[in-house]
Structure 1
Amino acid sequence: MPVTAPMQRPRSVGEMMQRVAFMITPEGMGRALAFQPRPDDVFIAPFPKSGTTWLQQIVHTLRTRGDMAFEEITQVIPWLELAHDMGIDVEAGQPARPRAFKTHLGWDQVPKGARYIVSVRDPRDVLVSQFHFWNGWFYEAGTVSIDDLAMGLFLNPNVPFNYWPHLQSWWPQRERPDVLMLCYESMLADPEAAIRRIAAFIGVPLDDALLRLTLEHASVDFMRAHARQFDDHLVREARDHVCGLPPSETGGHKVRSGKAGGHEAVLSDAVRAALDEAWQREIAGPLGLPDYAALRRVLEGAG
């Protein structure tokens, strides 16, 4: 990518999308798609900003009984699609079994033969979380509004990787024995129940001490206190220059409020209406779920 000096952050969604395209190379994606997992491997596979880092921390805490000896969680639970471009060998040893990998691939693309944990989150809160995540990293802070991001990226039908096809691909797999689908809001409401289900799913015996430890290490307060270990700074160090971005310690923050419903105070009526329309078109019709509340009821009933 030809980069002019000094490098500057994008100031529009269109320019941001051009830069993001350089994050994962075709070779890196090809290696990810060709990866051959072991039967006990665990893929943490939500759509971005839907609980991925939280699930990584839960799984890593369960399998190691609380190991925090990592600079950034990507080191111990690699991001499959980006591993090659970060110089990470996905076949290298991990701190404990089962091996775990982060991915945002849909069911149609994810390597088969492992186990898969997918958390689903209200798309309105996903949008808000994406806005804060990209702000100051892939676009200059304050130059892109949440309406810009909603219409230019989240609701853009020309963007192939988006919330709607990801949910469409995973929802029909939710009752498979090798898939655990969780509702983000239900995890917030009852983290102990979520941890118990995850431990059973990945085959880690859960005693009372490990349960208490995991509840602590996966709490918002704990992860905020160790924010540097969850902030994607290794990703930024490896890929910012390639994407034409100047170095920065801001942006990429993943541990914010740890709450649901944050969209209520920030989304415009126009964006709300567009999101509702997209849900009816992409989810209500194809999947038979009239709204997000119906999805949550189905997942809670399956628990």
Structure 2
Amino acid sequence: MSSEKIGRARTIEGFGEVMGAAAQGERPSHRPYSPQRGDTFITSWAKSGTTLMQQMFHQLRTGAAGGDMEFDDISRVVPWDDTAYLLDFDMETEQAGTPRGFKSHREYERLPAGMRYVVTLRDPKETFVSFYRFINGWHLERGAVSMEEFMPLWMGGGPGGCDYFTHLLSWYDRRHEPDSLVMTYRWAVKNKSAAIRALAQLCEINLTPEIEELVMKRTTREFMHEHKDKFDDGMICRVLEEKCGIPAASDSSKVQSSGSSADALPASVADAIDAMWAERLLPVTGHADFVSLAAEVDAAFGSSRA
């Protein structure tokens, strides 16, 4: 058998081969997740604010002790069950602070019931551009797969995820449930103080002005970009380098210096997303596009929600 490593993929099919190669080998340290009362899931769809909310959650729960930036990877301290086997990670390892927190891209129906759930919703076209920017040049050889060819990967929604529309419908249906904090990503960024207060209330964390100031500072784009090595899926990078030969120094940071704009989408991709929205979301929600749906979700937080 050849010992040559697979390297970055050049096709959509090659992406599957990369992930298959990464999953090879023994996993002596892996222990699966076991639900505990009070667990909190940060379960936005892929490229919809998951990392921001992981950081907000972790700094909130450690804020009384001055916060915590000693981690090497945000998904080590707010773990991701759907990558735990790949990483040989113990999901039951003790966490810094309470409540316990976990990352996910799943819809409600595939998460343990009776927990707490945090979701930020984002325009599907923006998620497409952001997802493409994230994968292009990391798992995929830069430029080898066009945006038009990228649709199957976008529809997958990341490890353990589901398609965008299944996810949105699931959490839209739970937007008024007391165990679920459902916000739009854009609102959470623009109204961060209100988002911090809402998250603290959901997690039953005593929020002082000092903790709020700390969390505000440590969730700015500037602060997170300055510490972007903590938000770049470093654990996954190391596995991909070891198993697949993809350099761990690849730019896998989830914190970009500027946001992703839907304007970058080819018309054919934008039209396909619009058609899926009209087929799957309009009949259920009554909203013809994300702007309309976001206005309803945002309005639930009162006049301070912009």
Partner of 2:53: 55
Q: CA deviation at 1:7?
A: 2.4
Tell me the distance in 1 between the aligned counterparts of 2:276 and 2:84.
32
Of stretches 203-212 and 52-61 in structure 1, the one that deviates more from structure 2 is 203-212
Contact 2:73 2:232 (8 Å CA) reproduced: yes
Counterpart check, 1:42 vs 2:40:
yes
Question: Residues 253-278 of structure 1: CA distance to partner in whole angstroms, max 9, x if unpaired?
Answer: 1001454x6121x1122221111111
Tell me the distance in 2 between the aligned counterparts of 1:56 and 1:3.
40
Opposite residue 184 of structure 1, the aligned amino acid is Y
Opposite residue 111 of structure 2, the aligned amino acid is V
Distance 1:237 1:9, change over 3 A: same
Unaligned runs of 5+ in 2: 302-306
Partner of 2:133: 132
Opposite residue 69 of structure 2, the aligned amino acid is M
Distance 1:207 1:284, change over 3 A: same
Contact 1:116 1:178 (8 Å CA) reproduced: yes
Contact 2:11 2:140 (8 Å CA) reproduced: yes
TM-score (norm 2): 0.87
Distance 1:292 1:31, change over 3 A: farther
Contact 1:191 1:215 (8 Å CA) reproduced: yes
TM-score (norm 1): 0.88
Tell me the distance in 2 between the aligned counterparts of 1:12 and 1:195.
41
How many correspondences in the alignment? 292
Opposite residue 134 of structure 2, the aligned amino acid is F
Partner of 1:7: 6
What is the correspondence of 1:1-303 to structure 2 with a 5 Å cutoff?
A: 5-20=4-19, 35-65=33-63, 66-150=67-151, 152-154=152-154, 161-242=162-243, 244-257=244-257, 259=259, 262-264=261-263, 266-303=264-301
Tell me the distance in 2 between the aligned counterparts of 1:21 and 1:218.
34
Opposite residue 75 of structure 1, the aligned amino acid is R
What fraction of aligned residue pairs are identical, expressed as a percent? 31
Tell me the distance in 2 between the aligned counterparts of 1:21 and 1:170.
30
Q: Please give the root-mean-square deviation of Cα atoms over the aligned residues, in Å.
A: 2.5
Tell me the distance in 1 between the aligned counterparts of 2:19 and 2:89.
20
Q: CA deviation at 1:17?
A: 3.5
Opposite residue 197 of structure 2, the aligned amino acid is R
Q: CA deviation at 1:53?
A: 0.5
Tell me the distance in 2 between the aligned counterparts of 1:8 and 1:230.
23
2:222 is paired with a residue of what secondary structure? helix
Q: CA deviation at 1:214?
A: 0.6
Tell me the distance in 2 between the aligned counterparts of 1:171 and 1:79.
23
